[in-house]
Amino acid sequence: MRDEARRALDGVGLGRPARWVWGRRPAAAARRRFAAWLEEADRRDNERMRLVIAATVNESSNCVDIGAATGDLLADIVRLAPRGHHIAYEPLPGFFAALGERFPQVDARNAAVSDTAGEADFMHVSNAPGWSGLRAYDIQVEARLETITVPSVRLDDDLPAGYVPTLIKIDVNGAEALTVRGAERTIATHRPVVLFEHGQAAAAYGTTPNAMFDLLSRRCGLRIFDLQGQGPFDAEEFTLATRTRWNFMARP
């Protein structure tokens, strides 16, 4: 999705340079060039994530989509694992309502997934909701922010008793360490494939690539790869990879 690609640029520190280039080229040409780049980045990463999903699940696999947004990848999950019990978390009320209409067979939950349960302030970017998150971070200067209150859950406590996930997707605009800390028991016990985004937005939470590596690799026992198949990374290699990539896979 274009919103996801744009905030991905911001997440790896390329948003401002891209907008600088845009502003110094003839407007029409700049728009076409930038739009083409976004389309290609979006197509590439989504194709690779779809391939990971297809290679991971069977018809009855259970999957968890954290930060489901408009449900683009959830649609592939439902198609590839039609008999699974899929749980989708989406804190934005508008996106959540749309998920319920589009995927009546999915257990959609209107909540943010973090390391604490209760209520949380959520930064809603009203003119670009794909950039919304639990904390504000460095995004396009024209963003319109409003703070809303959303339910917050820990995945370890919120999943049904006996639920075994085959795949977990995490796209939470920098809050991935909070999400994994609240899901550590589930991930360490069942060792699902985890598709996750990690870029500079994590700095708003004080999360470094080394901290993410510690959570997923050292504590949960997973190996981390990029979506091009490079890996498994050690901590230093993962830190280097996050300078130019923002979508990753962790697996046993």
Residue at 153 is within a domain: yes
Strands (DSSP E) contained in the chain are 63-66, 87-89, 107-109, 112-113, 118-125, 145-153, 167-170, 193-197, 223-226, 247-251
Surface-to-core class of residue 208, CB atoms within 10 Å of its CB (0-12 exposed, 13-18 middle, 19+ buried): middle
Could you tell me which residues come within 8 angstroms of residue 79 by beta carbon, excluding any fewer than 6 positions away?
none
pLDDT at 164: 99
Residue at 23 is within a domain: no
pLDDT at 136: 76
Residue at 37 is within a domain: no
Reported as a single tens digit per residue, the pLDDT across 222-248 is 999 999 999 999 999 999 999 988 999
> Residue 116 is part of which domain span?
43-251
pLDDT at 201: 87
**10-residue mean pLDDT series, the chain (252 residues):** 53 55 60 70 87 98 98 97 98 96 98 96 80 74 80 98 98 95 98 95 92 97 96 97 93 97
Residue at 7 is within a domain: no
The total number of structural domains that make up the chain? 1
Q: By percentage, how much of the chain surpasses pLDDT 90?
A: 65
Residue 135 belongs to domain with CATH number: 3.40.50.150
Residue at 232 is within a domain: yes
pLDDT at 208: 96
Residue at 15 is within a domain: no
Partners of 249 in the beta sheet?
195, 225
Residue at 225 is within a domain: yes
Residue at 147 is within a domain: yes
